[in-house]
């Protein structure tokens, strides 16, 4: 049993590595653009201070756009692989894909956060930028960061489970793989929005 668990864990980590490599570049780019855009808008258009703009960026990444954007990007990139595993492994595909998706979502969220901070810092028009950035990072509570990472992992693992279940049903009904991927992109997006709503209404309320 221990040997079987070890082999399963190795397979999950291998899938995590491969899927993470596929998603890392687009997620880093998205994070950089979000960070750059939010600070540019806040400082130059809304005439806010750089400190306020950086705090606003962190708030937006943590509470609004971070986990859902990471999950949707990862879903769009990984759907063909999820479908391929369903074709190869059938209803057993989720045993490795879903845990791997959770790890991928967590790691990608961390990359997105770092890229957003870097993008925001580069456009911040202040001479004492290093001090402000250090103060900003020191003010971020580890609990908030961890909650955001976990939320991203939960979102992507739920989307993965849904997509593979729906793909298995669709394949058994004889639908083409291209049509399945197209449909699942829309369903995955709707599920991501629903998960965000549930998290806001249920988990955030309980945490208060």
pLDDT digits (tens, 9 = 90+) for 1-30: 555 556 678 888 999 999 999 999 999 999
Nearest to 124 by CA among 65, 59, 44, 46: 44
List, for residues 154-208, the tens digit of each pLDDT value.
Answer: 999 999 999 999 999 999 888 888 899 999 999 999 999 999 888 888 766 655 5
Q: Please tell me the pTM assigned to this model.
A: 0.89
Helix (H) or strand (E) holding 177, with range, is: helix 177-198
| Tokens describing residue 66 | 């971070």
Q: Is 120 in contact with 61 (CB distance < 8 Å)?
A: no
Q: For the beta carbon of residue 62, count every other beta carbon within 10 angstroms.
A: 20
């Amino acid at each position: 049993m221990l040997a079987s668990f070890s082999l399963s864990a190795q397979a999950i980590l291998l899938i995590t590595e491969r899927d993470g490599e596929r998603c890392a570049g687009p997620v880093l780019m998205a994070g950089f653009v979000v960070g750059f855009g939010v600070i540019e808008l806040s400082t130059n258009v809304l005439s806010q201070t750089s400190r306020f703009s950086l705090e606003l960026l962190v708030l937006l990444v943590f509470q609004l756009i971070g986990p859902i954007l990471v999950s949707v990007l990862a879903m769009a990139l990984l759907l063909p692989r999820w479908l391929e595993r369903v074709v190869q492994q059938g209803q057993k595909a989720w045993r490795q894909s879903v845990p791997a998706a959770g790890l991928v979502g967590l790691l990608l969220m961390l990359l997105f956060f770092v890229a957003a901070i870097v993008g925001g810092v580069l456009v911040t028009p202040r001479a004492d930028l290093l001090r402000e950035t250090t103060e900003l990072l020191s003010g971020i509570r580890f609990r908030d960061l961890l909650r955001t990472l976990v939320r991203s992992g939960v979102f992507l693992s739920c989307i993965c489970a849904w997509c593979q279940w729906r793909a298995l049903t669709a394949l058994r009904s004889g639908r083409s793989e291209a049509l399945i991927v197209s449909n699942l992109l829309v369903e995955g997006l709707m599920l991501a929005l629903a998960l965000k709503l549930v998290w806001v209404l249920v988990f955030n309320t309980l945490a208060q």
